[in-house]
Amino acid sequence: MSALKMPSETVVAIAREWIGTPYRHQASRLHAGTDCLGLLRGIWRTLYGAEPEAVPPYSQDWAEPQGDEVLLGAALRHLTVQDGAITPGDVLLFRMRKGAIAKHVGICAQTGDTPTFIHAYSGHAVVESPLSSPWQRRIAARFSFPLGV
């Protein structure tokens, strides 16, 4: 179900502005601190203004002990499901291990010879990393930012 989506160059350019922002759990402030969800929230605010819903406090294990797909559920409410080939600007949700809930998110920045994605790397900062085979195997779902909200 691919609907009209925000231009990939726009999404990738905004995400790249966050590179170097320190990792801070539950934060979402450009250059000050963010986690992976905070990066997604910051891109949303740049594209549309106010966030679509309040984000309650969450632990670093998210809702893993309960098995609740909190991040996936929010993505289904506010983003557009993508199918087919991965494209720049796609929002990538990752399962960090088989059978676990999706609890990491990044933005595909480049496809082709050297695929990359932008994400907040725990203990470090927002970085652009290779979208290597191990990362690709962890992709649980793909979304895009809708064109207009």
Please give the domain boundaries of the chain with CATH numbers for all domains: 8-144 (3.90.1720.10)
- The reported pLDDT for the residue numbered 1 is 38
- The reported pLDDT for the residue numbered 65 is 63
Per-residue pLDDT reduced to its tens digit, 32-87: 999 999 999 999 999 999 999 998 888 776 666 667 898 999 999 999 999 989 99
Alpha-carbon distance of 88 to 117, in angstroms, equals: 8
Question: Does 108 or 68 have the greater pLDDT score?
Answer: 108
pTM assigned to the model? 0.92
pLDDT of 2 over the 50 cut: no
- The reported pLDDT for the residue numbered 46 is 96
Contact indicator for 91, 142 with CB cutoff of 8 Å: yes
Which run of H or of E encompasses 46? helix 36-48
pLDDT of 130 over the 50 cut: yes
- In a 3-state reduction of DSSP, which class is residue 127? strand
pLDDT of 138 over the 70 cut: yes
Contact indicator for 96, 135 with CB cutoff of 8 Å: no
Alpha-carbon distance of 115 to 98, in angstroms, equals: 22
- The reported pLDDT for the residue numbered 5 is 76
Single out the residue of 116, 121, 88, 89 nearest to residue 104, CA to CA. 121
- Torsion-angle region of 129 (φ positive above 0: left; ψ -120 to 50: alpha; else: beta): beta
- The reported pLDDT for the residue numbered 99 is 87
- The reported pLDDT for the residue numbered 94 is 97
Structure tokens belonging to residue 8? 């990939």
- In a 3-state reduction of DSSP, which class is residue 142? strand
